[in-house]
Amino acid sequence: MDVKKGTLYGIGVGPGDPEWMTVKAVRLLAACRHVCVPRSAADSDSVALQIAERYLRPDVIVHELPFPMTSDTEVLRQHWRQAAGTVHEILSGGEDCCFLTLGDALLYSTYIYLLRELKSLDPTMQAVTVPGVTAFSAAAALCNRAVGEGKQWVTVVPASDDFDQFSSALDRGGTVVLMKIGRRLERVLDELETRSLLDQAVFVSHAGLPQQHVETDVRRLRGLPDKTGYLSILIVSVL
């Protein structure tokens, strides 16, 4: 007799505070024996796992799936395939599996690539995605800063070494949310200063985590270490 396949649950754990996790995410984690977490070589521990660990069942089996920090598409694709194979093996055995990811599961998340590879490997696999609090929603709440009001545009831009998208978003006006800033923070500040927008920006890094940094005067970010931009959000109101 064929074994009924398990279900993959892609769970957005939010950006940091465990209390920001949804009731549904907590319920599923308490029931699921297999939990997968993405890991990069640069991370000594999985941040997503740290956020969710209080909700895991005592006999949980944690599977660490390596995802290297590289822009080499073929190398990344190879790791996505391997990760999908690990998840597929669990599901094929009839057990459910939860995959943890920071923020929301479908916003710039590793889960997106895993889900795509898994569906390619086995189109019959069932997947349920559980949304999570986005980092920019948390950042806005910490600063009491509106993300969008009325008919105002809201543009979410991942920072890159090519600043054209960021510049175009600022030209468009409304609210601009810049994610994945990393080592580009000084250059971002230069762009805002050139446009006289420093007073209309707020910065949050590691939202909800012990090392949380909230800055409403972004000029104070000048000269800080490169790691300041890690897990950070910048919200700019362009009037």
Identify the CATH number of the domain defined by range 135-238: 3.30.950.10
State how far the Cα of 10 lies from the Cα of 105, in Å rounded to an integer. Answer: 6
**Same fold? 7-130, 135-238:** no
The residues of the chain scoring below 70 in pLDDT are 1-2, 41-45, 70
The pLDDT mean for the chain works out to 91
Instruction: Please tell me the predicted confidence (pLDDT) of residue 42.
Output: 54
Q: Where do the structural domains in the chain lie, given as residue ranges?
A: 7-130, 135-238
Identify the CATH number of the domain defined by range 7-130: 3.40.1010.10
Instruction: Please tell me the predicted confidence (pLDDT) of residue 200.
Output: 95
Instruction: Please tell me the predicted confidence (pLDDT) of residue 202.
Output: 97
